[in-house]
Amino acid sequence: MEKFIGERVLGDNELPFGSFTQQDWALWWIAGYGSIDGDHHKVWLLDQLARILNGTKVIVTVKEWDNGDFQHRFSLAEPTQKYWDWVADVKNGEDGPDTYDYDFGIAP
69 domain-assigned: yes
102 domain-assigned: no
Q: What confidence score (pLDDT) does residue 86 get?
A: 94
Please indicate whether residue 80 or residue 96 has the higher confidence score (pLDDT). 80
Dmax over Cα atoms in the chain, in whole Å?
63
Q: pLDDT (tens digit, 9 = 90+) per residue, 34-61?
A: 999 999 999 999 999 999 999 999 999 9
78 domain-assigned: yes
Q: What confidence score (pLDDT) does residue 83 get?
A: 97
Give the residue numbers spanning the domain of 41: 4-91
CA-based torsion, 28, 75, 87, 55: positive or negative: negative
Number of domains present in the structure of the chain: 1
103 domain-assigned: no
73 domain-assigned: yes
Q: pLDDT (tens digit, 9 = 90+) per residue, 54-80?
A: 999 999 999 999 998 999 999 999 999
**Of 60, 66, 68, which is closest to residue 14 (Cα–Cα)?**
60
Q: What is the pTM of this model?
A: 0.84
Q: How far is CA 2 from CA 8, 69, 72, 73, in A?
A: 18, 9, 17, 19
For 48, residues 6+ apart whose C-beta sits below 8 A from its C-beta are: 29, 33, 76
